Structure 1
Amino acid sequence: MSQETVPGHDDLTYNLLNFDEQGRERGSGSREVLARAEAEQPTDLFVFSHGWNGDVPAARSQYGRWIATMAACAADRERAHDSPGGFRSLLVGLHWPSKAWGDEEIGTDPVVERFGGSPEARAAIGTIVDHAMTDIEPEVLPPEVVSAYEKLDGLDDDKSTEGDRVPFDAEQLYQGCRLEDDPVSFGSFGFGGILAPLRVLSFWKMKKRARTFGETGAAALVGQLQQAASDARIHLVGHSFGCIVTSAAAMGAARPVASLSLIQGAMSLWSFCSAVPARPAMAGHFRPLVANRMIRGPVVVTRSVFDRAVGTFYPLGAWSGQQLAFEADEWPRYGGIGVHGLHGPDVDVVEHQDVRALGELTPGKVHNVDARTVIATTDGIAGAHNDICHPELGHLVWQAVAASR
């Protein structure tokens, strides 16, 4: 564990805990956190989870900026301190291995490890990379490459509703990616070309890893924190795949958590519903969170049409490059909450049209908050997915905290 300072707020610290892909802690930092929680008895515990493509330096940077954003909301902090019982906080940032690869890493051991590290994964990735070195963008994928992708996909199949998608079709996905606006980088491996299905497939593999970590290491930690500080309110805040982590942690908690903030989530828009429209016999993976009232306060969800990571990668991976056709007044069969919000049967939803005009939040309800007015600055193929350090979003989380009291 490392105790980190927050940029611009030298009196404020958070605890950074490090876990492996199976949810096992690296080191023993959680013992120190639990000892602090037991000794200090905070009124409010905040647990943060980053999302896809985060190594330790990236996690440290994101948590520092995000917590600084919340700390800068002076009126909200004052309101919390003036509330009955006061306000004493303990902050924990979780790191789990979700780093995608850089172009220079293609074909190396770290990339193989992201697909399970088996000899089969190594051979399949080797075949794909060898063909990419010869011709990065053929008219159609060579049969050997198609076979290699099929083997990769079959090594770790995700049968849950949260992993629900049509059977992986590398050729359709490849052709779908060729229609995207991003040009192929011939000087290095870019988003397009033969490697495009590999990047999208890794997106879905990392999605399953987020759930595995949430159900194991993150859930265990939240349960232990609840025991160490029995009267504390626990607020879970996730970004991207971190929304899966925090949702899974809430499901595994010892008792209901206080609030759940899902910032630009890369998780299914049907995750909380009682019957997934395309599969009506099956409920959303995180349905128990609302059915069993496992979130005492509100669930807040931000969405932005400028989030290209959720808006493009999510449906591309789910539909394997097929066209997404649905009626204008319908939600897509496969879509992420970072663009669409949470929906479906028996989800009590309140829609907010502009994060800048946010009213009071209601406990026990899902609040879909359109944040396109602030989550708008694009950064490469991810679009505005990481544009989350705005005072309006800090205020949104503080509103969830206030509504959970």
Structure 2
Amino acid sequence: MPIETIPNSDFIYYLIAFDKDGNERTDDPDGLMSERVLQVIQQQPVTDVFLFSHGWLSDIPASRRQYTRWIEAVIQQKDDQARFQQVQPGFYPLAIGLHWPSMPWGDYELGESPLSMNLNNSPQENLENQRLSVVDEMVDRYAENIADTPAARCALEVIFNAATENIAPETLPIDVLNAYRILDREAGLQAIGIAAAPSADRDPFDPEITFAAARTEALSFSGFSWGGLLAPLRTLSFWKMKDRAREFGENAAFHLLAQLQQAGGDRLRFHLMGHSFGCIVVSGALAGSGTDLRNHHPINSLLLVQGALSHWSYSPDIPLSPGVPGYFHGIITNSLVKGPIAITHSKWDTALGKWYPLGASAASLIRRSISFYSTDNLPKYGALGAFGASGDHEFRAVNCDMLPIDAHYPLVPGAIYNINADEFIREGSGSQGAHSDIARPEVAHLMWEAALTSVDWRI
């Protein structure tokens, strides 16, 4: 059931689920969740809507777990709630979590039936049949999410068969190298450069260099070593899901936000929060596709937590390409956020500090000897969650530290804040590091503070 109750409370949130094409799911017995939410807005005295978007690697169960943890952290901040009630009598929040398929494989049923792909559980006598079955399953899953063409399927079969034979060869086999080139072509991803749309803001895909760079910093996931032969596939999956986040945000999420705002009129305040690729989703929900006429109003606050998008995204003028704006600069230049924009970054976020730039430009990392993370000089390709929002000397972002839950931020409407979260977003290991370490009271407090600004300043 996509109407979820937070444990040990009577607080509910609505999970609105979409398919990979951006169509709202229709297989829930309770009907379309967007319609249920619109009814709540129209029939109940809602004052504030909190709209959340998860990032990469989230199927239905994962998104449920994430939203439950995040919202639980938010409602546990009793002092923040009391302050909100004090300055806004009748405060009545409505929480909505968006689900968009962002995992190269996963459980996309609204029930619970996790898919297992662990070859080590196979009986010895059936190992070969099980291996072939897993390869077929992986081909099906990745074809669905990268490119479902005969050529792409053949390429994926070559890659996964090779991976089951030797996951960590010293060099990339020539047949696998050619398979990756075919898969990249079939995926239809572009490589335009620094100011392009999310997924095209990268150098051309080079599987051989990506393999070499990843081999230097090997990592593993669930039985398959992504630091080995499958590292280039992880890179393609990353950019394909990044492209899906943009498309979903600019279209389905954009139109959903417009519906919600129209239903509530001027009485509602809207607060958006995204994590990882979810920062692309909520940015797209504000900016639209560039061809849509704007059909909703500016929102009241925006929280971007460990954003997996370019740190130049919001700049009206990128220093490395003078006169060229970042992809989402219209959010700033068109004042689409009336209140504060708060952006967290942490040096402990390995996914963004290391693997994001590897995916964008493995060649540049090889040339600088895999020096993944340095804030001395801002890189051409760097993530928002690693460096904060960047721009030229006229780009006025306020730099400050994340505060404990008993301290107040001096936030003002219309300002951009780069929040250094090194002290709090720091727990994690492996390839992601602290990337998902966000269900913290300090992060929840920051969200409350940003939302409270819209009440204090009556915006």
| Correspondence list, 1:380-391, <5 A | 380-391=430-441
Listed as ranges, the gaps of 5+ residues in structure 1 are none
- What corresponds to 1:6 in structure 2? 6
- What corresponds to 2:224 in structure 1? 189
Residues 131-140 or 67-76, more deviating: 131-140
- CA offsets per residue over residues 14-52 of structure 1, 9 Å max, x none? 001110122110122111111111112411001101111
| Greater gyration radius | 2
Give the Cα separation in 1 of the matches to 2:96 and 2:247.
19
- What corresponds to 1:396 in structure 2? 446
**Aligned with residue 125 of structure 1, among 130, 134, 156:** 156
Whether the aligned pair in 1 keeps the contact of 2:402 and 2:424 (CA below 8 Å) is no
- What corresponds to 2:357 in structure 1? 315
Amino acid across the alignment from 1:331 = L
Other structure's SS at 1:35 match: helix
Give the Cα separation in 2 of the matches to 1:55 and 1:196.
21
Amino acid across the alignment from 2:428 = T
Whether the aligned pair in 1 keeps the contact of 2:403 and 2:409 (CA below 8 Å) is no
**Aligned with residue 88 of structure 1, among 92, 106, 109:** 92
Other structure's SS at 2:224 match: coil
**Aligned with residue 242 of structure 2, among 202, 207, 221:** 207
- What corresponds to 1:259 in structure 2? 301
1:134 corresponds to 2:165: yes
Task: Give the Å deviation of 1:339.
Answer: 1.2
Listed as ranges, the gaps of 5+ residues in structure 2 are 27-31, 106-115, 119-133, 289-294
Residues 33-42 or 94-103, more deviating: 94-103
- What corresponds to 1:342 in structure 2? 389
- CA offsets per residue over residues 149-178 of structure 1, 9 Å max, x none? 122222221353433111111111100001
Whether the aligned pair in 2 keeps the contact of 1:238 and 1:246 (CA below 8 Å) is yes
Amino acid across the alignment from 1:378 = G
- What corresponds to 2:54 in structure 1? 50
Give the Cα separation in 2 of the matches to 1:318 and 1:290.
25
- CA offsets per residue over residues 347-378 of structure 1, 9 Å max, x none? 32010134336522121111111111111111
Task: Give the Å deviation of 1:143.
Answer: 2.4
Whether the aligned pair in 2 keeps the contact of 1:41 and 1:232 (CA below 8 Å) is no
Residues 264-273 or 149-158, more deviating: 149-158
| Correspondence list, 1:322-333, <5 A | 322-323=364-365, 325=368, 329-333=376-380
Task: Give the Å deviation of 1:110.
Answer: 1.3
Whether the aligned pair in 2 keeps the contact of 1:176 and 1:322 (CA below 8 Å) is no
**Aligned with residue 188 of structure 2, among 144, 150, 156:** 156
From the superposition, tell whether residues 328 and 66 of structure 1 become closer, same or farther in structure 2 (CA, over 3 Å): closer
Whether the aligned pair in 2 keeps the contact of 1:355 and 1:370 (CA below 8 Å) is no
Give the Cα separation in 1 of the matches to 2:229 and 2:283.
34
From the superposition, tell whether residues 143 and 358 of structure 1 become closer, same or farther in structure 2 (CA, over 3 Å): farther
Residues 347-356 or 15-24, more deviating: 347-356
If the length of structure 2 is used for normalisation, what is the TM-score?
0.83
Give the Cα separation in 2 of the matches to 1:322 and 1:141.
19
Identity of aligned residues (%): 42
Task: Give the Å deviation of 1:142.
Answer: 2.2
- What corresponds to 1:233 in structure 2? 269
- What corresponds to 1:242 in structure 2? 278
Whether the aligned pair in 1 keeps the contact of 2:147 and 2:183 (CA below 8 Å) is no
Paired residues, number: 402
Whether the aligned pair in 2 keeps the contact of 1:355 and 1:373 (CA below 8 Å) is no
Whether the aligned pair in 2 keeps the contact of 1:172 and 1:322 (CA below 8 Å) is no
Task: Give the Å deviation of 1:136.
Answer: 2.4
- What corresponds to 1:37 in structure 2? 41
Whether the aligned pair in 2 keeps the contact of 1:167 and 1:320 (CA below 8 Å) is no
Whether the aligned pair in 2 keeps the contact of 1:257 and 1:296 (CA below 8 Å) is yes
- CA offsets per residue over residues 87-145 of structure 1, 9 Å max, x none? 11111110000124475465331122110322222111112122223332233212222
Give the Cα separation in 2 of the matches to 1:81 and 1:22.
40
- The Cα RMSD (Å) is 2.0
Task: Give the Å deviation of 1:86.
Answer: 3.3
Task: Give the Å deviation of 1:284.
Answer: 0.8
| Correspondence list, 1:366-381, <5 A | 366-381=416-431
1:353 corresponds to 2:352: no
Give the Cα separation in 2 of the matches to 1:329 and 1:386.
25
Give the Cα separation in 2 of the matches to 1:274 and 1:76.
34
Other structure's SS at 1:64 match: helix
Residues 221-230 or 28-37, more deviating: 28-37
- CA offsets per residue over residues 188-219 of structure 1, 9 Å max, x none? 42122111110122111111110111011111
